[in-house]
Amino acid sequence: MCDAVEYQHNNKRQFVYFINPYARLPVRKRCGADTLQTWGRRRDEPGSLPRGGWASHDSIHAGLWDRWFPRPVQIAAQRFLMRDIHGSTQWYPITRGHWLQGLLATEGDEIRLYVVTLTPGMPDAIHERWPRLVSKTGNTTQHINLPAS
């Protein structure tokens, strides 16, 4: 899973790890500007939105997020950190014009951002889940999956 994200904010490189209770990620607004949004909910944090920082693509399409009025968003990042099934970590770059797909969930005044993840289709994949990447080409959104290894 995506454990950390690197992004630019106010011309400074930021490294954000999910375990940090103040973790916020940049969400791209329609006007092109970025706004920082709280990344998920940790085990000990108050709130009623789901714990964790990830939303599986399958669970979204199954309607499991519907009660939190999910909204797809683009997370503007340069790269992300993944931990594989063996516990090793590796940074993966995000090419220009691509974004991590996020989901904004809302419960009353509480709004949190979750990274959308996919389950690899091959049995020998080194990651159990990986983030879903999207790119904007003209008026259509293309979905890009990461390689298995």
Q: Is residue 53 part of a domain?
A: yes
Assigned token pair, 49 = 């939105």
């770059």: which residue's tokens? 93
CA pair distance 139, 29, nearest whole angstrom: 16
pLDDT tens, residue by residue, 1-22: 789 999 998 889 999 999 999 9
> What proportion of the chain, given as a percentage, has pLDDT over 70?
86
Domain count, the chain: 1
Rounded Cα distance between 48 and 29, Å, is 25
pLDDT at 119 over 90: no
Instruction: Give me the residues paired with residue 72 across strands.
Output: 103
149 occurs within a structural domain = no
Q: 3-class DSSP state for residue 9?
A: strand
Which domain, by its residues, includes 8? 2-144
Q: Would you say residue 80 lies in a domain?
A: yes
15 falls within a domain: yes
Q: What is the pTM of this model?
A: 0.86
Q: What whole-number distance in Å separates Cα of residue 20 and Cα of residue 57?
A: 24
Let me know: does 33 contact 10? Beta carbons within 8 Å: no
The β-bridge partners of 115 are 54, 102
Q: Are 6 and 91 contacting, i.e. CB atoms less than 8 angstroms apart?
A: yes
In this prediction, residue 142 carries a pLDDT of 47
The pLDDT tens digits of the residues spanning 16-70 come to 999 999 999 999 887 777 899 999 999 999 999 999 999 999 999 999 999 999 9
Residue 35, CA atoms < 13 Å, CB-side half-sphere: 9
